């Protein structure tokens, strides 16, 4: 069999995102081959693997017309120039003509090269046959009566033979628009305006160097040229399927109708047996039978032909989008246009300005379902959003257990709730429930949608809001379009490698508004929670029942961190004994102090297990109060001591005195926001904040995996008590200090 050292590979065409894979596949399957890249002047070939590069002046394409916003060109002369110039530099005895948007999957084509030695002298113009593929090599006896059309995707043969094939003149310009000035054949319904297809022009131009061929246009096929077509194909080519050839076209997929129209290798073998070797054994294959059957059905049933054409076109566009450099953005664009403007993907740019900002914004949707703290950190955003669009309707999507934090916000018109079922559980079930929920919500026809999250499953339903301008977060730089940002029209970039972070999550939310506002949004609005008379009465009744006096000094304790009984919150939760020690120290200093342990219902058992709530001086109100009722309780307290949790953001909204303990999490991103009365307490370790779910640091320097960060075990309760006493002594404690041990 032929060795790869005997082969030159001419890879021709424009340089695209696929070209690198193309050249690497050549190196993989033909490691000793001479690789020649033939492309256009000023192309960026940096980082590509080749032995020679040939730069040619782009001859340009001929405009054929415009359809659905996309201009169509006849690029045949581009292919002729780049192929011909590349072949000039081939130095090996055998040569492959290959496209820059294809890859090799094997070298199976070499097995077929010597398998068919016999030839006729009639219509024989090459020393040996050239291998080509079945794609766009139509059998004129079936659906597409276009003779003399061997595929131009892939050619393998003697270098001298391949040069003969491509040593042809450029296509005259008038051929590209031939049927704009000449009548179509009477029995042809196609609107194609070219005299010949590209494959036909190449082969007919080569044949006409040696003999006359009766073929006036691309549909000219009948008794007068049937035998010439078959002889020219069987004497000069070997037709293989893409699998047999070991090649894969990466630009788009071939539809059903095209598949049914193309020759099979078996049909080429039938021609070989008919004209060259009557004794050659061949075995019928299922593919040929299936193609013949399908072609017959398409001819009989017009509805089937239309249906297949409908799906073929969409399949081609979807696969073209999938294989493109801007894969995810192109797919989203197809969906957004509901397959009406399918060809618009050719205009996709990298600057995420594909969909223009709506001229009039009547309806806005904000999707931030998550935890209490995340919802509260949206309040400065909502306040400024209302300033930007005072007359627009603003709706909000929130998880049911966080609704209480935002339902009284005057900047919102309507709130939609999602349950835990849309967030927690098996991923496929969650995805289906979310998709159904947002599919129905998309019928509200929003003009503007905000979704500040980096989690794919939370923002993937944005694809349903096809006509809305969508803004959110992404961890991908703006020059990269991936599955994590394709559904967004613009976004705030979050660098995951930035540890610690440089800006608070509330600031990031405001940056979304910077993207759509003519002037920068101020960073002066603090977090907000809007309490009502109902909450005041509830806390009055609670204090009356517990015997709380006006002279009592109230201190709130948030010992858990978002349902601390769950493993994913342990990284934010200090050991319970640390809170017990602080409470006991503060009680010793002032016996008139009363302590309220606040939290969710799921945290009640966690607090009970601390065995410190005597219901006289220390009260466990976890689960007894709503979120806003807890906020009213906090408002009446002199101090809050907490982990990094939703209580941190409640304290910021109320501007109360607050000591918050941080361990593995980032206080810059999730700490107190614009609260001058807050103190962040962090134990200084070189690894903090690590932002990891497991800690390997231990007191004896032996790595040991633990869910609770070791730094939280090092909290000095005496130091915390001293800071608390100082804050309680002063009526106004103004501090932005971060205390580190």
Provide the CATH number for the domain formed by 4-300 in this structure. Answer: 3.90.550
- Own/partner pairs, 546-551, CB within 8 angstroms, 24+ separation: 546/615, 546/619, 548/594, 551/592
Q: Comparing 363-516 with 533-740, is the CATH topology the same?
A: yes
Please report the pLDDT score of residue 333 as a whole number: 60
Provide the CATH number for the domain formed by 533-740 in this structure. Answer: 3.40.50.2000
Q: Where are the domains of the chain?
A: 4-300, 363-516, 533-740
The CATH homologous superfamily to which domain 363-516 belongs is Glycogen Phosphorylase B; (3.40.50.2000)
Please report the pLDDT score of residue 343 as a whole number: 45
Sign of CA dihedral 458, 463, 468, 474: positive
- How would you list the strands of the sheet with 34-40, edge to edge? 52-56, 34-40, 7-12, 94-99, 155-158, 130-133, 237-240
Residues 332, 334, 338, 344, Cα dihedral to 10°: 130
Please report the pLDDT score of residue 68 as a whole number: 53
Whole-angstrom Cα distance, residue 616 to residue 364? Answer: 49
DSSP states along 669-721:
HHS--S-TTEEEEE---TT-S---SSB---TTS----BSS-HHHHT--HHHHH
Whole-angstrom Cα distance, residue 720 to residue 97? Answer: 75
Whether a cis peptide bond, with omega within 30° of 0, leads into 529 is: no
In the chain, the largest separation of any two C-alpha atoms, in whole Å, equals 115
Whole-angstrom Cα distance, residue 394 to residue 411? Answer: 8
Residue stretches of the chain with pLDDT short of 70: 66-70, 189-190, 310, 312-355, 420-428, 479-481, 562-568, 696-707, 731-741
């Amino acid at each position: 069999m032929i060795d790869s050292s005997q082969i030159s590979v001419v890879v021709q065409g424009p340089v695209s995102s696929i070209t690198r894979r193309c050249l690497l596949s050549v190196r993989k399957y033909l490691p000793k081959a001479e690789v020649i890249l033939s492309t256009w002047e000023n192309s960026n070939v940096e980082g590509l693997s080749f032995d020679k590069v040939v730069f040619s002046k782009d001859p340009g394409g001929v405009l054929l017309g415009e359809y659905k916003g996309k201009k169509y060109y006849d690029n045949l002369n581009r292919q002729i120039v780049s192929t011909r110039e590349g072949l000039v530099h081939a130095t090996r005895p055998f040569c492959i003509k290959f496209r820059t948007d294809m890859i090799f999957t094997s070298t199976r084509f070499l097995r077929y090269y010597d398998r068919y030695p016999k030839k006729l002298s009639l219509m024989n113009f090459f020393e040996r046959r050239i291998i080509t593929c079945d794609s766009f090599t139509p059998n004129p006896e079936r659906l597409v009566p276009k003779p003399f059309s061997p595929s131009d995707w892939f050619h393998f043969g003697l270098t001298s033979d391949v040069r003969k094939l491509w040593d042809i003149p450029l296509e005259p310009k008038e051929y590209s628009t031939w049927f704009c000035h000449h009548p179509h054949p009477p029995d042809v319904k196609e609107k194609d305006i070219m005299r010949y297809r590209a494959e036909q022009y190449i082969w007919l131009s080569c044949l006409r160097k040696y003999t006359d061929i009766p073929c006036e246009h691309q549909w000219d096929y009948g008794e007068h040229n049937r035998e010439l077509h078959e002889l020219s194909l069987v004497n000069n080519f070997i037709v293989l399927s893409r699998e047999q050839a070991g090649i894969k076209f990466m630009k788009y997929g071939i539809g059903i109708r095209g598949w049914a129209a193309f020759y099979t290798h078996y049909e080429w073998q039938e021609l070989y047996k008919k004209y060259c070797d009557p004794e050659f054994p061949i075995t019928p294959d299922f593919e040929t039978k299936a193609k013949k059957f399908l072609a017959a059905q398409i001819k009989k049933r017009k509805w089937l032909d239309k249906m297949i054409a409908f799906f073929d076109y969409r399949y081609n566009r979807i696969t073209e989008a999938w294989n493109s450099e801007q894969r995810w953005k192109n797919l989203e664009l197809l969906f957004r246009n509901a397959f009406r403007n399918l060809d618009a993907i050719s205009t996709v740019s990298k600057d995420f300005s594909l969909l223009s900002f709506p001229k009039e914004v009547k309806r806005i949707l904000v999707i931030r379902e998550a935890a209490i703290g995340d919802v509260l950190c949206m309040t400065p955003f909502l306040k400024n959003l209302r300033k930007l669009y005072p007359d627009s309707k603003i709706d909000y999507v929130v998880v049911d257990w966080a609704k209480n934090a935002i339902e009284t916000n005057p900047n919102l018109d309507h709130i939609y709730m999602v349950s835990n079922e849309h967030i927690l559980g098996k991923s496929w079930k969650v995805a289906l429930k979310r998709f159904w929920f947002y599919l129905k919500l998309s019928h509200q026809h929003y003009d503007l949608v905000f979704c500040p999250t980096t989690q794919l499953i939370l923002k993937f339903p944005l694809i349903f809001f096809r006509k809305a301008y969508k803004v959110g977060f992404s961890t991908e730089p703006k020059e990269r379009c991936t599955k994590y940002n394709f559904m967004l029209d613009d976004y705030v970039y979050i660098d995951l490698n930035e540890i610690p972070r440089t800006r608070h999550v509330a600031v990031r939310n405001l940056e979304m508004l910077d993207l759509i506002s003519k002037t920068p949004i101020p960073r002066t609005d603090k977090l907000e929670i809007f309490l009502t008379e109902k909450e005041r009465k509830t806390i009055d009744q609670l204090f009356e029942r517990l015997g709380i006096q006006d002279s009592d000094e109230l201190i709130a304790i948030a010992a858990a961190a978002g349902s601390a009984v769950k493993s994913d919150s342990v990284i934010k939760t200090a050991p319970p004994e640390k809170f017990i020690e602080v409470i006991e120290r503060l009680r010793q200093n002032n016996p008139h102090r009363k302590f309220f342990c606040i939290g969710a219902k799921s945290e009640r058992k966690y607090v009970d297990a601390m065995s410190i709530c005597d219901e006289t001086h220390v009260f466990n109100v976890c689960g007894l109060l709503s979120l806003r009722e807890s906020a009213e309780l906090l408002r009446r307290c002199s101090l809050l001591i907490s982990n990094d949790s939703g209580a941190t953001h409640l304290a910021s909204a109320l501007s109360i005195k607050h000591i918050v303990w941080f361990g593995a999490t980032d206080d810059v991103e999730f700490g107190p926001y614009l609260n001058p009365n807050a103190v962040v307490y962090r134990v200084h370790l070189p690894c903090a904040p690590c932002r990891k779910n497991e800690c390997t640091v231990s007191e004896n320097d032996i790595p040991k995996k633990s869910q609770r960060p070791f730094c939280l075990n090092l909290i000095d309760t005496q130091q915390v008590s001293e800071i608390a006493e100082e804050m309680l002594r002063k009526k106004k404690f103004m501090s932005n200090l971060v205390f580190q041990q």
